[in-house]
Amino acid sequence: MKKLLILLSLFLASAAALASDLPYDEKADAKAELRQTLAAARQSHQPVLLIMGANWCEDCRALDAALKSGKSAELLARQFKVVKVDVGNFDHNLDIDAAYGHPIAKGIPAAVVLSPDNQAIYATRAGELADARRMSETGIYQFFERVSKVGRDAK
């Protein structure tokens, strides 16, 4: 019985650690987070990078990992206010997706660049990031470097 309790404790601890590494908060109030991020963007005069995805999505997790380190992380921190929105199994926060022209229609992760006054100035409409796990770190950086120019031009 003691061994079973130890195994159960280890399992729960590892499950909790794994859940904390997931990129999308499934319980978040996405609309409130988006409003807060837009308010911060108005203060800093930076565009918002809205990334939509889901924790079950391997490409979404790969993109998130690539954006947390190296040149991509530096670029995003310098150029954008970032907000991530969970779309579940294409059944969560679909009103946000609809508000920006359904960028998840061709796959996730999807990205939208918003001006600080909440105008969509770029969106992935052709599934540009839907194969993120096969994009190199350099490929992801180059994609967001191009996208950041769109954001800068819209200021």
Closest to 116 (Cα-Cα) out of 65, 155, 75: 155
pLDDT class of 1 with cuts at 50, 70, 90: low
Residue 143 corresponds to which tokens in the numbers above? 């994609």
pLDDT in tens, 119-152: 999 999 999 999 999 999 999 999 999 999 886 7
* Percentage with pLDDT > 70 across the chain: 85
Rounded CA-CA distance 147/125 in Å is 13
